[in-house]
Amino acid sequence: MSASATAKRVFWFDDHKTPNVADELAKEADLTVYRLAFDAAEEQNWAVMATCHAYCITSARDEVPDQYKGTAALIARCPELLVLSTSGAGFDPVDVAACTEAGVLVVNQSGANAEAVAEHVVAMLLSLSKNIPQTDRSLRTQRGVDREAFKGRNAQGRTIGIIGLGEVGRRVARICGKGLEMRVLAYDPYIEAADFRERGAVEVTFDELVAQSDYITIHCPYNAETKGLIGRRELALMRPNAYLITTARGGIADEDALADALAVGQIAGAGIDVWNVEPPPLDHKLLTFDNVIATYHTAGVTVDSRHAMAQWNAEQLVQIFKGERPPRLINPEAWAKFAQRFERAFGFRPASSGSPPMITGSAH
């Protein structure tokens, strides 16, 4: 049986983002795409989900109701599921271990919105340095204010510390190192010494980065290892004129500790795009500080990045359904079990690497 003889079915919950992966996948002749709604009757959603081979899920955990997160419970109710594909780099709403155990691939779109996030970081860095939010608010509401009160600092020649030198981190290093002539430090225990050099950063220990940087920016995933990575101890190590910028995931920086540090002038300010709860409540302590720039987890949200995320997501799923190994596979250890399940579903064995798939017989 040919690779296209059995219909491939994908579901996606309409989150009103455009462009989106469903629009891209709808262009594929041998794919059936189901657009579901979180507020629809659950029995209707589950009836569709139980028949599908792939689930395209948003990367933002607070945008997905618990019953529709990629958990062991969902996998148990979706026996045909072979792939969970997240919309961006993050995969917070997905239990990767449960997927691996079940032979379900997890893929993300790491890098699709990296330039957008990096530019957002630099925009926050410069706005914090120049006191732009405070100046804007004052000019709209006050007169008789001495402009010297808003005197800022040049970023040129200062030190930026990057936690995580992956897709976003390396772009921040490029912009700050080459564009602003900053000293670039980085901490990333998962890359080699040559990677630091190639990406334009000096490798340092975590504590050295925290203590020496004028700006600290976070670009690592949220997991058990990074939860609360920036807490009271780390904030106490920072320079009093330093800024913390967080655009990765809420929970990596301790919000209570950060609020306390700002309250006593322990650090100079912060740029916060990601929160424990998104959006944060209006009475959140961090929203009371003039030296905090707060955004709606919008660092990666641009017209350009939305196009890239949708296109990459669709292309990766098409590759998988052709029996090809995807380029952004989060759990490669699931491949063997996935391959067996894929063969039972479609009648041919997916490639273990980049080689063509092997036709073996009829689908079951």
CB-based contacts of 134: which residues, under 8 Å, 6+ apart? 150, 290, 291
Using the predicted structure, report yes or no on whether residue 354 has a pLDDT greater than 70. Answer: no
- Measure the CA–CA gap between 298 and 307, rounded to whole angstroms: 15
Number of domains composing the chain: 2
pLDDT at 277: 95
Torsion, CA 318, CA 320, CA 330, CA 311, rounded to 10: -10
- Measure the CA–CA gap between 353 and 356, rounded to whole angstroms: 8
Q: Tell whether 266 and 283 lie within a shared domain.
A: yes
Model confidence, pTM: 0.85
Q: Which residues form the domain of 125?
A: 114-294
Q: Tell whether 201 and 341 lie within a shared domain.
A: no
Using the predicted structure, report yes or no on whether residue 251 has a pLDDT greater than 50. Answer: yes
Exactly one of 28, 119, 208, 278 is catalytic; which is it? 278
* 2 vs 92: which has the higher pLDDT: 92
Beta bridge partner(s), residue 294: 272
* Annotation marks residue 249 as catalytic: yes
Q: Tell whether 128 and 81 lie within a shared domain.
A: no
Q: Tell whether 279 and 346 lie within a shared domain.
A: no
**Residues of the chain with pLDDT > 90: what percent?**
89
| pLDDT tens by residue, 42-65 | 999 999 999 999 999 998 888 999
Q: Tell whether 61 and 208 lie within a shared domain.
A: no
DSSP string for residues in 111-154: TTTHHHHHHHHHHHHHHHHTTHHHHHHHHHH-SS--GGGG----
Q: Tell whether 203 and 345 lie within a shared domain.
A: no
Domain annotation covers residue 364: no
| pLDDT tens by residue, 294-349 | 999 999 999 999 999 999 999 999 999 999 999 999 999 999 999 999 999 999 99
Task: Give the mean model confidence (pLDDT) for residues 252-259.
Answer: 98
Q: Return the structure tokens found at 63.
A: 């945008």
pLDDT at 18: 87
pLDDT at 2: 39
CB 248 within 8 A of CB 273: no
Q: Tell whether 342 and 252 lie within a shared domain.
A: no
Domain annotation covers residue 284: yes
**For the chain, what is the mean pLDDT?**
93
Exactly one of 61, 120, 249, 306 is catalytic; which is it? 249
pLDDT at 358: 34
Domain annotation covers residue 156: yes
Q: Return the structure tokens found at 294.
A: 């707060």
